[in-house]
Structure 1
Amino acid sequence: MDDLPGPSKDSAYRDKTYYFEDGSCVLLVGDCLFNVHRSLLSRDNSLFSSMFTLPQGSRVAEGNSDDDPVVLRGDKPSEFRNFLWALYALPPELQIVNSAGADLTQLIDIARISNKYSFKSLETWALDAVQEYVNRRPSSSSPHHSSSSSFFGSGMESLNTNPIQPHPHLALIENTDQLTRLIELAQLCSHERLLNSMIALLRQLMNRSLHYAYLSMALADNLNLRTLRGAAYLEVMQRGTFTGLGSPKRESEDHETEGSIQITPAQQVRLLTGYWHLTRTWERLRSNPPSFIHAPSCSATWHQPGCTQAWVEFWKEKTRGEAVMSLGLADVIGRLKQVQKDYDRSGPTYMAHDCKLAARRSLMECIKTVEERLPDYFSGEGLEEDC
């Protein structure tokens, strides 16, 4: 927000709602003058309370008139107006933030301005309201309800062919600009629950449309979100096609504008790095099945070599199976999960029951390990043996 044009006293106008005649502090935000009460601005050990107590010496304190306002830079009048609404609203008015009629943009503005000027209690209240809004699910009885509804901001078209219109609540959250604001807000305010909710939402959305995967990839890079980076890069690597250094194109969705989404050279390098590491990982796993500890009853008898051999043969057969080979070479997680499905359907015949359970646990642990290290495959840092 710091790139907003600076306030201009020459063209300043008084706000229609929050310029009080009995106000005690004139603030200039953009070209808009607010005249509010110092006592309210001084609440919650805010930055304003510290500013008002600073010694002024012989100089007249700022904020006493329209000609000498306190100038606030980097904010929009609409954002600050929403913040003042939270300061001045009566309890019945505040109840709307916990209802279906809550204004998400207003809540985001309140949280951001509160964070900037250290209104900690108000910031927490607004962030909790945003969290509730994001996690709220529309009623199935709503005429707008659609479990597959989606909304693409920035001119992107919906892939949903269902004639039912997307629920307004979902549409607002899934707008790309709003998604970006929400996840940036969660990180700015260090609100872990909201950040986790937004990452989980983006992971769901990127399965619906590759557009969200590109968005997630950019957000993960810009905000250093490790938990989002791996899933986003994997989705783009598996489903995107690229020309040159940055013109990805959707293979199956011609209705989207070609070249409207671009990747940077650094992102292309990460995609290539991830592909190389993941394909090498699969080659190692294909040749060496996950190890497990044999059951005591198996270890104490002659059966252990046969048990091990049955596991190795099963692994080699299934990793070469048609279902596995139909998946991308770098789709290590997908291939391992397919082997798991084959194992659950009909595991090795000549393995002891307890050893079968141990082998399955080892396979599940291997999948978990690859999933946890997924972000590292695209950076090449901190990689060790996988399973």
Structure 2
Amino acid sequence: MAHLPAEVYLTSTFMHSGNVSPSTPKLQLQLSIPIPSRDPSYYYSDGNTVLLVENTLFKVHRSALTKEKSTFDSMFSLDSDLRSSSSTSSNSSVTVGPEGESDDNPIRLQGDTADEIRSLLWALYALPHELEAALTTKAISLRLFNLARITHKYEFRATEGWALDKLKTIYMRPMHSHIDEVEGPSLVQLTELASLCEQRDLLEAATIRWKRLIASGKDVALAIGMAERLSLRPLLGLAYQSMLLQGREVWDADILLTRTQRIRLLSGHYALGRLNERLPNEPPQLQHNPRCTGGAQVRCNQAWAGLWRSTMDMGKQVLPLQYADVVGKLMLAESILKALVEREIPTQGLLDGMPWCKDNALAATAGKVKEIQESLADYFTDVV
């Protein structure tokens, strides 16, 4: 087939039926039919397999696509069986070329992007030194992202593992200062990839970045939608709480929030407010020191209940926080308790009744903070 321009236009002219004068405007219908174009890098003249992705033709070597076991093995095996079956049949009066052997009848890959296929072919065709050189370019994180997605879909397990390892190397470095955010995948894309490929380390690296954004009040609604979609419960709770603390006017005006999510915010405000009221009278369970037994343990429990209430009250005086900011209040209480235990502030006799269990009280408080943080999402339900 001759190489045609990227797009041709067919124009048909229709006249209105009935009595019309020569001056009646013509009704013109213009149809735009895109013609696939050949990829400038991966259309090899000696290739034997033509792929169509989006509106781009790739002509490559079948041996390159099958040198690593993948879904293409099954695809080509099925194609070979169909060819054998077709060659033994003489009933068809129309001769159709085998799929993938010409631009007219390419193998159509649905749901992929041309950039993803380019990344796959780059990995399959590049020499080792070319791969290493590419790892130093600004846009490498996006190429690796595309490569990881496409190799996961078509089960190129070894290449997928290589791409994910390189991505982890990039994103798990402190602060990721060398990453060009414009050239690389978005944080949503990176998180979705880590979840899709079940890459815990990469997902944790993405989560740390989300937490920084949420703490600064940025992209909170985006984080809520993404965390709900991927069932990232701890991150979802933090995002909901951050949006809640910004106030009703802010989240009522945010176009990314759905009606259901706004209902969950109202529900969370009520539930966390109730929890805030209960907390001073519900000290965390204290694990006693082995030396704390019998009557000493009874006195220790009483002292711990008083210390817990006092610590929560001190927090209100030191830094008044919003009614529903339970996590903030618990973290402040933890800081005050630590200062008391380490004698950085006067104890006023609050620790006298628990001489052996002060450090255990700190551990119990830290455990309570973690418990509430991890269960925050449970307070944001569909019922107000």
TM over 0.5: yes
Between the aligned partners of 2:200 and 2:292, the Cα distance in structure 1 is 47
| Letter in structure 2 aligned against 1:19 | Y
Range 80-89 or range 279-288, more displaced: 279-288
Which of 92, 96, 107 is the aligned partner of 2:144? Answer: 107
- For this pair of structures, how many residues does the alignment match? 330
* 1:129-278 superposed matches below 5 A: 129-137=166-174, 169=179, 171-172=181-182, 178-208=186-216, 210-242=217-249, 246-248=252-254, 261-278=255-272
Q: Structure 1 339/120 Cα, relative in aligned 2: closer, same or farther at 3 Å? A: same
Describe the superposition over 1:241-273 as per-residue Cα deviations: whole angstroms up to 9, x where unpaired. 436x8413xxxxxxxxxxxx4311111122122
Greater C-alpha Rg: 2
Describe the superposition over 1:189-231 as per-residue Cα deviations: whole angstroms up to 9, x where unpaired. 22222112111211122212x2232221110112222231111
Is the contact made by 2:284 and 2:365 (CA closer than 8 Å) also made in structure 1? Answer: yes
Are residues 1:24 and 2:48 paired?
Answer: yes
Describe the superposition over 1:302-355 as per-residue Cα deviations: whole angstroms up to 9, x where unpaired. x55654444333333332233466112222222122122222222414223213
Between the aligned partners of 1:61 and 1:320, the Cα distance in structure 2 is 79
Q: Structure 1 170/353 Cα, relative in aligned 2: closer, same or farther at 3 Å? A: farther
* 1:110-125 superposed matches below 5 A: 110-125=147-162
Paired position in structure 1 for 2:106: 69
Between the aligned partners of 1:182 and 1:374, the Cα distance in structure 2 is 24
Between the aligned partners of 2:298 and 2:335, the Cα distance in structure 1 is 25
Paired position in structure 2 for 1:53: 77
Percent sequence identity is: 36
Which of 301, 307, 318 is the aligned partner of 2:311? Answer: 318
Q: Structure 1 234/114 Cα, relative in aligned 2: closer, same or farther at 3 Å? A: same
Between the aligned partners of 2:300 and 2:166, the Cα distance in structure 1 is 56
Paired position in structure 2 for 1:377: 379
Q: How far is the alpha carbon of 1:298 from its aligned partner?
A: 4.9
Between the aligned partners of 2:274 and 2:318, the Cα distance in structure 1 is 16
Q: How far is the alpha carbon of 1:44 from its aligned partner?
A: 2.3
Q: Structure 1 77/309 Cα, relative in aligned 2: closer, same or farther at 3 Å? A: closer
Describe the superposition over 1:261-311 as per-residue Cα deviations: whole angstroms up to 9, x where unpaired. 43111111221222222222222221232342555655445x556544443
* 1:339-350 superposed matches below 5 A: 339-346=333-340, 347=347, 348-350=350-352
| Letter in structure 2 aligned against 1:86 | A
Between the aligned partners of 2:359 and 2:178, the Cα distance in structure 1 is 47
Is the contact made by 1:318 and 1:324 (CA closer than 8 Å) also made in structure 2? Answer: no
Q: Structure 1 86/240 Cα, relative in aligned 2: closer, same or farther at 3 Å? A: farther
| Letter in structure 2 aligned against 1:317 | S
Q: Which structure 2 residue ranges, 5 or more long, are not aligned?
A: 1-31, 88-96, 341-346
Between the aligned partners of 2:301 and 2:231, the Cα distance in structure 1 is 43
Q: How far is the alpha carbon of 1:64 from its aligned partner?
A: 0.9
Paired position in structure 2 for 1:334: 328
SS in 2 for 1:65: coil
Describe the superposition over 1:46-89 as per-residue Cα deviations: whole angstroms up to 9, x where unpaired. 11111111111216531111111111122222221222111111
Range 103-112 or range 308-317, more displaced: 308-317
Q: Larger RCO: Structure 1 or Structure 2 (Cα < 8 Å, ≥ 6 residues apart)?
A: 2
Q: Structure 1 170/285 Cα, relative in aligned 2: closer, same or farther at 3 Å? A: farther
Paired position in structure 2 for 1:289: 283
Which of 361, 374, 378 is the aligned partner of 2:363? Answer: 361
| Structure 2 length-normalised TM | 0.77
Q: Structure 1 184/300 Cα, relative in aligned 2: closer, same or farther at 3 Å? A: closer
Paired position in structure 2 for 1:162: none
Q: Structure 1 240/219 Cα, relative in aligned 2: closer, same or farther at 3 Å? A: farther
Is the contact made by 2:263 and 2:382 (CA closer than 8 Å) also made in structure 1? Answer: no
Between the aligned partners of 1:71 and 1:298, the Cα distance in structure 2 is 73
| Structure 1 length-normalised TM | 0.77
Q: Which structure 1 residue ranges, 5 or more long, are not aligned?
A: 1-7, 140-166, 249-260, 382-387
